[in-house]
Amino acid sequence: MSDEKDATRVVSAGRRPEWTQGIVNTPVWRASTILYDSVAELRERGAADTHHKLFYGRRGTPTQWSLADALTELEPGAEATLLYPSGVAAVASALLAVLSPGDELLLVDSAYDPTRNLAAGMLKRFGIATTFYDPMIGAGIADLCTDRTKAIFMESPGSLTFEVQDVPAIVAVAKARGITTLIDNTWATPLLLPVIGMGVDYSILACTKYVVGHSDVMLGSVTAAQGQYERLRAATYQLGQYASPDDAWLGSRGLRTMAVRLRQHGEAALKIAEWLQTRPEVARVLHPALPDCPGHEIFARDFKGASGLFSFVLDGGSETARAALIDGLKHFGIGFSWGGFESLALPVDPQRHRSATRWQAEGPVVRLQIGLEDPDDLIADLEAGLARFAGARG
């Protein structure tokens, strides 16, 4: 593992000469069939571990391995990474790799909604029970562990509401009991929170967001800690999970600029979050770098910085008043995915996606993805939006 700084590593990681063939970016190697020189060679290769060896298209080519290796290099202590056709596919494959019928899963209450749906849907159907837990639980998670608890799933900060979890405290409890830990690390990426080094077993990314960075590719990844790769590989192969070389290539292309993009997203988002805090129309800003965010001290202790996604709570007002704010924005699109170069505003209703805790707010909530536009233009846009909101609220 190199000790270079992150910005250097994202530029060089995964560019092995035998894969790039002297070209700067690993080219797109497309394949289904791989041809063998002889029956003997075919037999020999089929019997061995095919990781990083051409075997069959579904097992990947240097294009996918290059991105996967780069993501492994960004997580000191990791063994290997596999790619998936989406972030949700990565979450599902990782959970199916570590859970069996009769097992119990502890899932953070602020998890991404499709992760909750997987637990309530297919996992339940396969006899895996889920207990949701308070994102602020920390070492108190020990009280929820039973002898059937096999996995703890974290997401920090939480989707929509941005509570920061005490990952080291939860990992310590899990390690003492032989429980596997997984985290959805999409918000921070390994650049802002290298979780494998903190003892987490599986780090999951929706590469769709910051790795790709341009809102035009669906892609996911799971990075396994030392000793955790084999069961992930087995499940992934059995499920036939595969990311296309074209998408992996675009992922690698995005990765090269991820450090500078993240810095810009982070700085602009914090500036806008601090400005929103001063506004009378805004009751609360939910951003981990702000002192009143639940878990802010943990954020300050563990994270190297913030990325560009946060929410704010309006002071009163209806659904219609919130729509008046969002509908008229010039620089913010209305859409779900995030991590791209463009800003987005989304109406969100966290109270609909909670079961272990109760989410209460002073008014409707708006989630912002701050893109690479000049933050002053975004502030002017939001200022006009808040005026529309205040007018509609009456």
The residues that touch ligand PLP, with contacts defined as CB under 6 A, are 86-88, 112, 155, 159, 184, 186, 206, 208-209, 218, 220, 337
Q: Is 184 one of the annotated active-site residues of the chain?
A: yes
Phi/psi of residue 181, each to 5°? -115, 140
Q: Which is nearer to ligand PLP, 14 or 220 (CB)?
A: 220
Q: Is 330 one of the annotated active-site residues of the chain?
A: no
- To the nearest whole angstrom, how small is the minimum distance from the Cβ of residue 376 to ligand PLP? 27
Q: Which is nearer to ligand PLP, 236 or 390 (CB)?
A: 236
- To the nearest whole angstrom, how small is the minimum distance from the Cβ of residue 313 to ligand PLP? 20
Q: Is the previous residue joined to 157 through a cis bond, with omega within 30 degrees of 0? A: yes
Residue facing ligand PLP at closest CB distance? 87
Tell me the three state secondary structure of residue 264: helix
- To the nearest whole angstrom, how small is the minimum distance from the Cβ of residue 316 to ligand PLP? 28
Q: Which is nearer to ligand PLP, 90 or 198 (CB)?
A: 90
Q: What is the DSSP string of 325-339?
A: HHHT-SSEE--S--S
Residues 93/236, Cβ–Cβ less than 8 Å: yes
Angstrom CA distances, 319 to 167, 332, 333, 363, stand at: 35, 18, 18, 9
Distance separating alpha carbons of residues 127 and 18, to the nearest angstrom: 45
Q: Is 113 one of the annotated active-site residues of the chain?
A: no
Q: What is the CA radius of gyration of the chain?
A: 22
**The two structure tokens encoding residue 313:** 């709570």
Q: Is 300 left (phi over 0), alpha (psi -120 to 50) or beta?
A: alpha
Per the document, the length of the chain is: 394
Q: Which is nearer to ligand PLP, 208 or 223 (CB)?
A: 208
Q: Which of 209, 233, 261, 393 is flagged as catalytic? A: 209
Distance separating alpha carbons of residues 182 and 91, to the nearest angstrom: 9
Q: Which is nearer to ligand PLP, 13 or 108 (CB)?
A: 108
Residue 18: how many other CB atoms lie within 10 Å = 8
Q: Which is nearer to ligand PLP, 250 or 282 (CB)?
A: 250
- To the nearest whole angstrom, how small is the minimum distance from the Cβ of residue 209 to ligand PLP? 6
Q: Which of 166, 184, 201, 302 is flagged as catalytic? A: 184
Alpha-carbon dihedral sign for residues 307, 309, 313, 317: positive
- To the nearest whole angstrom, how small is the minimum distance from the Cβ of residue 222 to ligand PLP? 12
Q: Which of 112, 133, 202, 210 is flagged as catalytic? A: 112
- To the nearest whole angstrom, how small is the minimum distance from the Cβ of residue 110 to ligand PLP? 10
Active site amino acids:
58, 112, 184, 209
